[in-house]
Structure 1
Amino acid sequence: MWRATLILCHVLVPGQLVQSPDELRTTITPQNCGLSCVRQGGPGCDYCRISSDDVNAALGLTSKNQFGTCLPWPCFKLLGEEDPGICNHYVQAPTDVTIEFVPDPEPKSDTMVVSWKPSQYGITFLRGFQVILQPLGGFGVACQLFLFQKNLTLSASHAQKVYKSEPFPGLFLGSDFAVTVMALPVPEKWEHFYQSKIFSTRSCAEKNGFQRCKADWYPNYIDVQQRGTVISITFNLAPPNLDITSYFSYCSANGKTTYTEIAPNISRNQTHHTFELRDLEEGSNYTCEIAANEMDAVRKLFKFQFERRGAASASPCWTMVLPVGFAVVCIFGVLLAVLRQTPCIQMKKPSIKSDLIEQLEEVKAQEEVLILSENQKSRPRLLICYSSNDGPAHVNAVMKLAAFMQQHMATQVCLDLWDFLGLAEEGSMAWFCRQIQESDFVLVVCSWGLCCKGGTSAQGSLDSEVMVGLIGAEVGRAKSDGKDLSKYMAAIFNYSKETDIPTELGLVFRYKLPADLLLLFSQLHQVRLHTPGRYMKINNISDEDFALSPAGQALQQAISDTEEAMKENQKKILDSEEGGKEGNANA
């Protein structure tokens, strides 16, 4: 059934085409033509975008399928069964899949275009392409179908051409997506016919500039002045279009931290604001940060030295004037004698200088900051397994965990929900076994439904008991051979219990999420979190900033929603059991 569902539509038998130099263009973009033009082989239909309405009309369909604009139908359906044999020809996957962002007037979203090159293997039988876009950590699939007209036959030279999709608009900024480009037709005996690529959309600051983004804006002008025992700090305000009305500041020295809420009066000054710090310790070096009072706002870091200036003195007592004056004269004489024997020393008036105000990338107070690169090459491959018996809320929590780990934990995550084509091609058991062997780590997200006999797991229709049994057998084999067991891990969310971890996984490392995300990161990357006198702080994963990133907020919300859903399910179960008992009593 899956094979019949995912084999994509194409067009009539290819003919021959005589190529001219003008036709051998480097880049080919879609044409505005329909399925009828493709079937007739008319002019201007060389490379057409086929809409879902066209195919639905050709197939006599009235409702949309589960993949939205994707059109997974057997290829001979659109041929009118004129030549079913064409579906068995071999066409290899496209190459050089590339993502290009194009101008988008909407500030909160991105628009991208996919480009690729066809493989020279089987290019004579190539009838078109299908591009599938899927968000990582969310639901929904967007597809575009492109077909060649019936009389077009490509030669090996076309493998150097670049084919492009139409724009995919409305992609949320700072989000992860997977794009898959398939070569058509897909034969009944499947080969490697598609190429996938994972990418991230731009951040708000990358697309619009930080002056137009609440979370990315920060003051770029800070001036510190000391007036007696008071420090005055002046900074530039956010642009009016960001609608930022309040700010905050932290200043720390000698283990003490001062928090200041700042509410500027824009009726007086719309560009800058000055606030004061009092009761500071003289002779101390202060490290401060200032930011807009918005979620996940970027903080501007700076420091200054506080010195005591011109303290007022009380009226002198005349009985002390003479002794003090005599002592001063003696000290002055000694100093004068010393100065005659030493080089001249220039005395400087204490003041706060501009070079004392520095921009810091990170505040390091007995901590070692680890910043992960998005293009980090050594990303361990992690297979995440789970059960769907606990409902869609639990599945959503697992998906949000996978998206968080993919984005912030420098991990290449393998999840069945992101590879439905591979599942359909190989079958759930073969796909699952291959992923276990090829992955560097295997994480089993345990829940009550995982231990239910006969329940379905995440991997297609694979039985939960079978999945746990396979992983348990791998763990037992590794243990008997004296191998390292760190490849296999078990985890539970806050709404699950330790007893939800199957006995087959009793030897593996266990984690409770999201509290143990740092420990999980440590195992994946073999990083020591604590060394003598310091500890490791990992951006977006540490306790203080986990929930500040959009992916962390989504994971936290998904866990909370699942906890509420499970409480409601348990209440329904208890109510039904009580209803059954009352019924038996009445009987």
Structure 2
Amino acid sequence: MWTAALVVFLFSAPCQHVWAQEGAITPQDCSLDCIKEGGPGCEYCRITRADVKTALGFNSFKEFGSCIPWPCFELLGKKDPQICRHYVHGPNNVEVEFVNEPNSESDTIVVSWKPSHYGIAFLRGFQVSLQALGGSSFACQLFLFHRNLSLPASQSKRVYKSDPFPGLPLGSQYAVTVMALPVPEEWERFYRSRNFSSRSCAEKNGLEKCKKDWYPKHIEVQQEGTAITVTFNLAPPQLGIRSYFSLCYANSMKKYTDISPNFKKNQTHHSFQMNDLQEGTNYTCEIAADQMDAVRKTFNVQVLHFLKVSTPHSVSPSLALMLPLGLSVAVIFVVLVAALIWKTRLQMKKVYIKPDIIRQQEESGTQEGVMPLPRNRPTPPRLLICYSSCDGPAHVKAVMQLGAFIQQHMATQVCLDLWDSLSVAEEGGMAWHCRQIRESDFILVICSWGLNRRSKPSEGDEDDGADEGLHYGSNAFCSKAAVKVIGEEVGHAKARGQDLSKYMAAIFDYSDETDIPTELRLVSHYILTRDLQLLFSHLHGVALHGPGHYLKINHISEDGFTKLPSGAALQWAIYEARMEITAKRHDSVGSEGD
């Protein structure tokens, strides 16, 4: 989808300068021959997949767009390798700009940056990649200078821009990376990255055009006697919202009210009454459209005491009636006073019967309080997740959803090769894993049936086999090698008496504990998603239980995590993986029986 939408924007070149800031440099259409020969009209050129096919003789992967590993050497350095052997620092001031477009369901961005003055004379171009966090969507653009161009240091103040990245779903998170070319193997800091979120529907189109984000803005509360009247504004008719609800709660009491407006009387506002509310009580109320995941508007209701004043009779009663009435009132008063005194003495007697027992009961109760997380860590812990893709795409999807849930709701920075495919392609899978093992605070190995077994080559045509081997075979090899490295480090740390808390092993509920490799039996291991709270305790160094208190985290409990969108996605991914692996094992058992 991104490739098709990107082609539309690439052929709308006259519109691109609308987004260019004054002095910003936007890409040009030019041929590879012009770039190689150093023509005057090829200062800053976009490279397309067609150019890559012309130069290399084969198409690059659609997911990578026009980007390829070592683009400077492959496209410019074959005749003159020295042109691609110099050190260039990564760019500065990477910014993301949103572009106005008619599509109300997606966003379009343009990335801008400034080149670093370190090594700018040897700068040959840029490579811009966009990666969806928590997903597999990826897009990449390649831009090159012609071979004879050598930028002076003063050009480091100029702003360069990418082509538009269209079709980004609203409310999604992305990571954009701008890499300076060439990229020698022995140097680092050749790129800059930043995370951003696409705009929400309300931010881009306005609240009145977004059914999912709409909520009542104007609420008025009036009290007439014991009845509370609430007036609020209705959603625009084009959103199709026909019913609403209100929920009030106070002192463990809840009051739910269904609201069905009469749109024939009024299409902009509606008033409804809330009855049976306790006088002298402050309620916290919410009102929202009766839709899935609707945004709720909170307001307060204070129910005041209502005093009933009786009207005196105009005719004064006679003395004959007043005397018996007065005597009756006096007798009732004396009886009430005696009863009150007797009840007070009885209560005092109960209180002083066994004060030690009452005090002991009060002191034995478990206190529920707030336990703050430690603040001595300036940044979230960095967690590397290792896994095997030999169990199939459903297992890989479950691992990816687990990483997204941990990063979003467990205050942890997750490192996953699926999210850093550009660095994996540049460094190599094994080198990337070794670097992450050194730099990460924690390492979590997702153990499965395929982690301890050799992957079988898939059958099919040559092209499909090559793609699948790149996706599964290399990952399986790197995963097994990374697990061996981790196992060796665990063994060395154990022999030296060092702390093993950096290393963890985990299985999903469709795997067995026998799937955990022998070298990882020494470290903590968890069953997911049952042990999410234990995993949180391990990552942040907090105890779930302590003297007089316990730590309760609802959104990562075994039952509560499914209430979050990412938690529900994780649960569904685990279910799909369980069904797929169960079917594979059933088929393998059947084939062995035959």
Aligned to 1:349: none
**Is the Cα–Cα contact under 8 Å of residues 48 and 65 in structure 2 kept in the other structure?**
no
Matched, 1:567 2:579: no
CA distance in 2, matches of 1:369, 1:268: 52
Counterparts of residues 452-467 of structure 1 (less than 5 Å): 452=453, 460-462=475-477, 464-467=479-482
Aligned to 1:557: 572
Aligned to 1:239: 236
Secondary structure of the 1:563 match is: helix
**Is the Cα–Cα contact under 8 Å of residues 77 and 83 in structure 2 kept in the other structure?**
no
Deviations 1:49-102 (A, max 9, x none): 222223323444467556233344764554594334433344333333332333
Which stretch has the larger CA shift, 73-82 or 38-47? 73-82
Deviations 1:491-515 (A, max 9, x none): 3334334443344333434444344
Give me the CA root mean square deviation. Answer: 4.0
Aligned to 1:474: 489
Unaligned runs of 5+ in 2: 1-21, 333-367, 457-470
Structure 1 residues 426, 45: closer, same or farther in 2, change over 3 A?
closer
CA distance in 2, matches of 1:475, 1:82: 48
Residue 441 of structure 1 deviates from its aligned partner by: 1.4
**Is the Cα–Cα contact under 8 Å of residues 250 and 260 in structure 1 kept in the other structure?**
yes
CA distance in 2, matches of 1:45, 1:445: 49
Counterparts of residues 574-585 of structure 1 (less than 5 Å): 574-578=589-593, 580=594
Residue 383 of structure 1 deviates from its aligned partner by: 0.7
Matched, 1:292 2:289: yes
Deviations 1:139-190 (A, max 9, x none): 2421212121343211222233222112211112222222222222344766
Matched, 1:101 2:98: yes
Deviations 1:292-338 (A, max 9, x none): 2333332222332335646799xx9x99976555788999xxxxxxx
Counterparts of residues 86-485 of structure 1 (less than 5 Å): 86-187=83-184, 192-307=189-304, 309=306, 378-452=379-453, 460-462=475-477, 464-485=479-500
Residue 414 of structure 1 deviates from its aligned partner by: 1.0
CA distance in 1, matches of 2:283, 2:545: 27
Residue 443 of structure 1 deviates from its aligned partner by: 1.6
Aligned to 1:83: 80
Structure 1 residues 121, 382: closer, same or farther in 2, change over 3 A?
same
Structure 1 residues 41, 159: closer, same or farther in 2, change over 3 A?
same
Structure 1 residues 484, 431: closer, same or farther in 2, change over 3 A?
same
Structure 1 residues 220, 62: closer, same or farther in 2, change over 3 A?
closer
CA distance in 2, matches of 1:441, 1:489: 8
Residue 121 of structure 1 deviates from its aligned partner by: 3.5
> Given residue 567 of structure 1, which amino acid in structure 2 is its aligned partner?
T
Structure 1 residues 416, 209: closer, same or farther in 2, change over 3 A?
same
Aligned to 2:535: 520
> Given residue 287 of structure 1, which amino acid in structure 2 is its aligned partner?
T
CA distance in 2, matches of 1:432, 1:80: 29
Structure 1 residues 277, 138: closer, same or farther in 2, change over 3 A?
same
Which stretch has the larger CA shift, 164-173 or 448-457? 448-457
CA distance in 2, matches of 1:432, 1:129: 25
CA distance in 1, matches of 2:325, 2:442: 78
CA distance in 2, matches of 1:491, 1:312: 71
> Given residue 212 of structure 1, which amino acid in structure 2 is its aligned partner?
K
> Given residue 573 of structure 1, which amino acid in structure 2 is its aligned partner?
S
Aligned to 1:352: none
Deviations 1:268-312 (A, max 9, x none): 322222333333344433232222233333222233233564679
Aligned to 1:67: 64
Which stretch has the larger CA shift, 39-48 or 447-456? 447-456
**Is the Cα–Cα contact under 8 Å of residues 70 and 426 in structure 2 kept in the other structure?**
no
CA distance in 2, matches of 1:533, 1:241: 55
Which stretch has the larger CA shift, 503-512 or 454-463? 454-463
> Given residue 117 of structure 1, which amino acid in structure 2 is its aligned partner?
K
Q: TM-score, normalised by structure 1?
A: 0.75
CA distance in 1, matches of 2:186, 2:212: 50
Unaligned runs of 5+ in 1: 1-24, 332-365, 581-587
Residue 391 of structure 1 deviates from its aligned partner by: 0.6
Structure 1 residues 442, 301: closer, same or farther in 2, change over 3 A?
same
Deviations 1:410-431 (A, max 9, x none): 3221111222343344443333
Residue 394 of structure 1 deviates from its aligned partner by: 1.0
% identical aligned pairs: 60
CA distance in 1, matches of 2:73, 2:322: 112
**Is the Cα–Cα contact under 8 Å of residues 388 and 475 in structure 2 kept in the other structure?**
no
Secondary structure of the 1:462 match is: helix
Which stretch has the larger CA shift, 35-44 or 291-300? 35-44
Structure 1 residues 57, 457: closer, same or farther in 2, change over 3 A?
closer
**Is the Cα–Cα contact under 8 Å of residues 93 and 118 in structure 1 kept in the other structure?**
yes
CA distance in 2, matches of 1:468, 1:49: 41
**Is the Cα–Cα contact under 8 Å of residues 384 and 416 in structure 2 kept in the other structure?**
yes
CA distance in 2, matches of 1:457, 1:476: 28
CA distance in 1, matches of 2:185, 2:502: 36
Residue 127 of structure 1 deviates from its aligned partner by: 1.8
CA distance in 1, matches of 2:229, 2:573: 44
Residue 384 of structure 1 deviates from its aligned partner by: 0.9
**Is the Cα–Cα contact under 8 Å of residues 508 and 574 in structure 2 kept in the other structure?**
yes
Residue 47 of structure 1 deviates from its aligned partner by: 1.1
Secondary structure of the 2:383 match is: strand
CA distance in 1, matches of 2:177, 2:66: 14
**Is the Cα–Cα contact under 8 Å of residues 232 and 270 in structure 2 kept in the other structure?**
yes
> Given residue 397 of structure 1, which amino acid in structure 2 is its aligned partner?
A
Deviations 1:521-541 (A, max 9, x none): 343234566778887676965
Structure 1 residues 208, 545: closer, same or farther in 2, change over 3 A?
farther
Residue 442 of structure 1 deviates from its aligned partner by: 1.4
Structure 1 residues 411, 202: closer, same or farther in 2, change over 3 A?
farther
Q: TM-score, normalised by structure 2?
A: 0.74
Structure 1 residues 568, 534: closer, same or farther in 2, change over 3 A?
same
CA distance in 2, matches of 1:460, 1:438: 20
> Given residue 414 of structure 2, which amino acid in structure 1 is its aligned partner?
V
Which stretch has the larger CA shift, 391-400 or 461-470? 461-470
Which stretch has the larger CA shift, 440-449 or 537-546? 537-546
Deviations 1:96-126 (A, max 9, x none): 3332333343333222222222233332222
Paired residue total: 517
Structure 1 residues 557, 153: closer, same or farther in 2, change over 3 A?
same
